[in-house]
Structure 1
């Protein structure tokens, strides 16, 4: 995912034999606070430890953050992912750690993917069964062509993708920098409705596009977002060739927590984040302030305060004003504005366990699978099917919804959600008794209801590019006032690809580079880090145009 705003090749940076650099020997063992034990926190802590520093991780709930996986009650039951669950193969920095741990993956069953047995699209009461896009009525293929034409005509899509594929960093920047000022104020819906490709066709095209979408499903709940957010997704192929982690997404942050790296500076062989912490991170953070000598003081939930020369904060930024007593002077007023103006998406999922993957049974009359990956305009919106073998318990994500659709479920109990979801699916599959296959209790989540997250992930609205740039570039602190230095933001919500684990990894690496530089270290000359190449690759600064 060579993100066009800052196309630094993080995958190559991680894979380089020279490593990420060093810090002076007299800094070895120096404690650095890491607030949050999600993927960004784990990557940051892991790389700090490898440099010879001592990360101190604070976590309010459990290791993993929104890479949260749960197992149904009982032996040999499926694992379901409540947060991050599908990861594009273009996310090379993310897969660096997946491969490091040897985690097994398989294709994610997205609509119409070649590894998805079948897909059903049901809109306005009309039901369409398909194994590929070619099986759908011509109207759907026309909508797909209109979207692709819209991307090429209005957003230089083919040219940007060509530059990304060929790793032409200067050309990526040149092309993207022409789009940012043109499209920063444009919404996703405004972009497609104002395009020649969609302006010349009936409104039904826009309606179908919103409900069925591209790659991973319908996108109409995202129509108010900045079109730049969507273009980053399609340009970096984040919506294509996605995979799931078979032991559950949480296996990645938990694996990093327990892994003893082969190459370590300062620490004895066998050291891991877990051993440095006595197997358990410190409690969640309640306050952050400036201490003596410019240190960053962290107070945890049991009232303990510790001062650090540097801190990496990976929690969602809203928490810095709503849940954590964060001293105002730690950040500039411009950065606080960016934090407060961030927009977070709502998201809801509900899973049930079933006795077996019955949906693979074929109806002898129609020749169709009894049930399919389902996109609909009903309450459920997206239904996904997961199985680990023909004779093993399986799981169904009855409903995966966003924003307004997710809010419809917020006040309902898990059982009431399941009842309504089965009612909707019963209209699509009237001859299939889904309920007879369900075993045990459902598992559900509404991320906006969780006080440790307050939403699924940030997603910019039109006009928010300047805020996004401030958040992402926060790791470059040489020109900041001293009172603003030493605390570094990380996490997918400050990245240019919110909601993708790749953004958590890359911003964590940015923050590690910032800490390294603050403590007198540097990258290896043979493998310059993100800050070393910032001047050439930096995101366009609209305020200086």
Structure 2
């Protein structure tokens, strides 16, 4: 599958398959026999994975039935601010995913299909941010580029780049991904998996030759400030493979936001009319198939006497389905949904149960205008900047659509133990804590005077239908991930374990990224298509057709 040079996309590295090319091929994804048209598939979860799968299954002529416990969109949630007298406010806070790397080719297939507009995300030291303030140990630095910062920061950046390439062959791996050279990607990556699965991110940093030449202070600052999007010390316990995937897929680079809110993507998929679907009349949408609203939360899944799946929802109604796709976070399959144990193997249950979720907290306020763009007449500096700090706020992001329009401040974006510090507090206390921290960095800026409307906050670990923000695999977890990811190819499974499929970013090798959710949804589409006796066209083979030659490496048990 060697191809001509191409822009870098998330082509692997664990499974180097071109999902974007599969989606865009004129022959389509495949077909199911006419006898399968209209047969129902239960989709548990109406996030991006569930809705992408439902959309493509509808195009195949099947009837997806989406069950959603709360609201469509999952962790692509855009929450409008409530402002007295402005009930139709279009100013939003992105509570879940908010920055999307252009290398996410499968995800952007749907963004482009819906005609949505994007803009560069205001990450630190980017043109979109304007300026950045790094404040550590009570000392601040103002910068527009890396070169504006002291040598310490440049030494860290050089050590990080050098360690990645010298130890992990990053440049060679990325070049193979650009060429869509599956064999080369597998050759490099399959050697890295057993070498690094048992090693943590911090261990990699501390033991690399590039960082070993530097001081502990360098490692400490690297954890606070990180690379690309901010501090990474919350990820230090994770397996190094998790971090390497982010680097090699350039998930931390060239990130964009979706103008008007990313929730438009799942909701747009839900309402988009389809004119090329098998079986369904032209103009049919997922919303049409559901009379406008998804069905309620699933509470039980079991195998019925007729061999189909008996699915009970929160209303107590039982429906029979020919296949089930679970896209909810894996812990919910034991805490919120009673799933008959025999539907999945014990090895797979172990993998699902051992999934480790990371905590995340965000607090937003709406402001009357982007006052941070005001320039100090003496210094020429902006009044306030995108801010990275070791204080409670950790990361503070600034969003605006123009000087005369309201703006949004993400006062605090924190992870793991820093997020848990916010967990017990109501929204106003979180705002006060964040403003107090920022007042120490910007003593001459009265942020509070610009705040309008009601603040918005989220702690994903406190939501019973999420229990965390996203997966963060620990050392030794690769085998679990491979079991979950590979499950969509079911031809060798015993009959009683066939027909229930899994998708979502926690099933993927790239948790926290919408691209992983979309790719696993497409895997499930292929698996369900095969389950109904269908197939992809010869000229456009699907992920299951090439799985044996491209599959993720298997480590010995």
Normalised-by-shorter TM-score class? over 0.9
- Determine the structure 2 residue equivalent to 1:59: 68
Aligned residue in 2 for 1:138: 151
Match of 2:126 in 1: 113
> Aligned pair 1:202/2:211, yes or no?
no
1:386-425 map, 5 Å: 386-425=399-438
The alpha-carbon deviation at position 540 of structure 1 amounts to 0.3
Q: 2:521 aligns with which of 508, 515, 540?
A: 508
Task: Within 5 Å, give how 1:484-495 maps onto structure 2.
Answer: 484-495=497-508
SS of 1:122 mapped into structure 2: strand
8 Å CA contact 1:188–1:230 kept in 2: the answer is yes
Structure 1 range deviating more: 404-413 or 293-302? 293-302
Match of 2:82 in 1: 73
2:38 equivalent among 29, 34, 43: 29
Equivalence for 2:297: 284
Does residue 1:324 correspond to 2:337, yes or no? Answer: yes
Gap regions ≥5 residues in structure 2: 1-9
What corresponds to 1:433 in structure 2?
446
CA distance in 2, matches of 1:50, 1:292: 30
* TM-score of the pair, normalised by structure 2: 0.97
CA shift for structure 1 position 116: 1.7
Please give the alpha-carbon distance, in whole angstroms, between the structure 2 residues aligned to 1:343 and 1:55: 29
Secondary structure in 2 aligned to 1:139? helix
Cα distance per residue 1:40-59 (max 9 Å; x no partner): 01000000000000000100
Deviation track 1:485-516 (CA, whole Å, cap 9, x = no partner) reads: 10000001100110100011110000010010
Q: Deviations over 1:193-235 (max 9, x none)?
A: 0111111111011011111101111000110000100000010
Match of 1:294 in 2: 307
> Is the CA contact 1:257–1:273 (under 8 Å) kept in the aligned structure 2?
yes
**Separation in structure 2 between the aligned mates of residue 33 and residue 446 of structure 1, nearest angstrom:** 28
1:267-326 per-residue CA deviation (whole Å, 9 max, x = no partner) reads 011110000000000000111111123211110000011111111110000000111111
Secondary structure of the corresponding residue to residue 117 of structure 1: coil
1:453-532 equivalences in 2 (<5 Å): 453-532=466-545
State the secondary structure of the residue aligned to 2:414: strand
Q: Which runs of 4+ in 1 moved over 3 A?
A: none
The one-character-per-residue Cα deviations of 1:60-115 (angstroms, maximum 9, x if unpaired) are 00000000111001334411110011100000100000000001110000001122
> What residue is the counterpart of 1:128 in the other structure?
141
Report the 3-state secondary structure (helix = DSSP H, G, I; strand = E; otherwise coil) of the residue aligned with 1:352.
Answer: strand
Aligned-pair distance for 1:264? 1.2
CA distance in 1, matches of 2:202, 2:176: 26
| Deviation for aligned residue 1:158 | 1.1
Q: What SS does the aligned partner of 2:333 have?
A: helix
Take 2:292 and 2:543, find their aligned partners in 1: how far apart are those partners?
A: 31
Asked whether the 8 Å contact 1:51–1:264 carries over to 2, the reply is: yes
**Conservation of the 8 A alpha-carbon contact between 2:90 and 2:260:** no
- State the Cα distance separating 1:159 from its structure 2 match: 0.9
CA-atom RMSD, angstroms? 0.8
Mapped partners of 1:113, 1:263: distance in 2: 41
Q: Secondary structure at the match of 1:511?
A: helix
Partner of 1:42 in structure 2? Answer: 51
Q: Which residue of 2 aligns with 1:92?
A: 105
Distance in 2 separating the partners of 1:113 and 1:497: 24
Question: What runs of 5+ residues in structure 1 fail to find an aligned partner?
Answer: none
Q: Give the distance between the partners of 2:313 and 2:243, measured in 1 at CA.
A: 38
CA distance in 2, matches of 1:392, 1:77: 11
- SS in structure 2 opposite 1:129? strand
Task: Tell me the CA shift for residue 3 of structure 1.
Answer: 2.1
CA distance in 2, matches of 1:264, 1:296: 25
Cα distance between partner residues in 1 of 2:465 and 2:401:
32
Native 8 Å contact 1:77 1:393 kept in 2: no
What is the distance in 2 between the residues matched to 1:321 and 1:28? Answer: 32
